[in-house]
């Protein structure tokens, strides 16, 4: 089971988090310097879930609460952008529980707090953030690792927290925590040995990779979003995303976007996306399915990043 302790303090997504369970992926706070933003509690929420639904693998949304249950794993309740409550089952795997807490649960918390969670990785280039979004398996984390190999630090992996500045609606990425999840093939192509890392929730082909020395903890303005897509084309292709397609692209790659209507956030998401699209570049990067093209993709993004700096 999870290692449980009292009042562990962490920092992630710009939030101060207190937790009943140990979360080794996150940055530890030695002492509380302000208010607690999010509380992660071990609490019995099964009766509430049974009353509302009772069916596993189904998300239930009531007002400001999201509940779901994973068979043989746990029942979760995410409430008011403040609380993550979970009831683990006896046979639950601790690694997978933490994965759900830091993924689906935290993504729900961000939406409840009016913070846009994009599904992807973000890197820092010359003082600006560049987000790489795409479907699962598109190669987002691998491309972020290729950037890190060239000295550009990671801001976030899997869930990218985006806010708008109060002054002029500039989108900002707030860093998450210093860890990536990489497939075995990607590790090998990047020259990394799998025996140095812990597998993700018991999988033999995906690994948790700490990146503390290559992590940026400062929020940065979001200068570009790149949608990574596998294609049958023989080489890397980079195409601008048109103005009319940008809002749809952001919706498609919002983390757990199926929750947006149920949470009553459709108008908020549209307004936020509309404010973002004219303040950053958006491109689609198409890569061959069977080739390792991360270095070429880095080159394509860097050309656009340098061009943006020259125009600034």
Phi then psi dihedrals of residue 258, to 5 deg: -65, -15
Average pLDDT, the chain: 89
CA distances, 67 to each of 64, 95, 101, 107 (Å): 10, 20, 12, 13
Q: What is the pLDDT along the chain (312 residues), one digit of tens a residue?
A: 455 556 799 999 999 999 999 999 999 998 777 789 999 999 999 999 999 987 888 899 998 999 999 998 999 999 999 999 999 999 888 888 998 999 999 999 999 999 999 999 999 999 999 999 999 888 898 899 999 999 999 999 989 999 999 889 999 999 999 988 766 666 667 666 656 656 665 555 666 777 888 999 999 999 999 999 999 888 899 999 998 899 999 999 999 999 999 999 999 999 999 999 989 999 999 999 888 888 999 999 999 998 866 665
pTM above 0.85, yes or no: yes
CB of 254 within 8 A of CB of 260? yes
Place of tokens 């040995």: 193
Quick: pLDDT tens for 87-128. 999 988 888 899 899 999 999 999 999 999 999 999 999 999
Q: Which domains does the chain have, with CATH numbers?
A: 4-112 (no CATH), 116-311 (3.40.50.300)
Gap between the terminal Cα atoms of the chain: 52
Neighbours of 137 (CB within 10 A): 8
pLDDT on residue 50: 93
Distance from C-alpha of 219 to C-alpha of 223, rounded to nearest angstrom: 12
Tokens of 104: 């689906």
């Amino acid at each position: 089971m999870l290692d449980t302790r009292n009042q562990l303090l962490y920092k992630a997504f710009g939030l101060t988090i207190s937790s009943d369970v140990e979360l080794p992926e996150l940055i530890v706070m030695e002492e509380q310097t302000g208010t607690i933003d999010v509380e992660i509690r071990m609490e019995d929420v099964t009766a509430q879930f049974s009353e509302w639904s009772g069916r596993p693998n189904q998300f239930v949304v009531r007002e400001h609460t999201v509940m779901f249950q994973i068979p043989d794993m746990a029942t979760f309740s995410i409430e008011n952008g403040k609380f993550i409550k979970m009831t683990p089952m006896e046979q639950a795997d601790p690694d997978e529980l933490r994965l759900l807490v830091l993924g689906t649960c935290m993504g729900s918390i961000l939406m409840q707090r009016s913070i846009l969670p994009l599904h992807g990785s973000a890197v820092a280039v010359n003082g600006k953030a560049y987000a790489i979004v795409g479907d699962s398996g598109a190669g987002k984390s691998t491309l972020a690792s290729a950037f890190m190999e060239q000295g550009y630090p990671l801001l976030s992996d899997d869930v990218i927290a985006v806010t708008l500045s109060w002054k002029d609606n500039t989108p900002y990425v707030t860093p998450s925590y210093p860890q990536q999840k990489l497939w075995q093939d990607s590790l090998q192509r990047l020259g990394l040995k799998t025996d140095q890392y812990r597998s993700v929730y018991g999988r033999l082909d995906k690994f948790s990779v700490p990146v503390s020395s290559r992590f940026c903890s400062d929020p940065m303005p979001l200068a570009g979003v790149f949608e990574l897509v596998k294609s049958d084309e023989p080489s890397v292709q980079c195409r601008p995303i048109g103005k009319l397609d940008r809002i749809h692209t952001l919706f498609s790659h919002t983390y757990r976007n199926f929750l947006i209507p149920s949470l009553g956030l459709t108008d908020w998401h549209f307004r936020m996306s509309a404010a973002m699209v004219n303040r950053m570049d958006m491109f689609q990067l198409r890569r061959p399915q069977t080739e390792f093209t991360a270095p070429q993709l880095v080159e394509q993004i860097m050309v656009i990043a340098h061009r943006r700096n020259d125009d600034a």
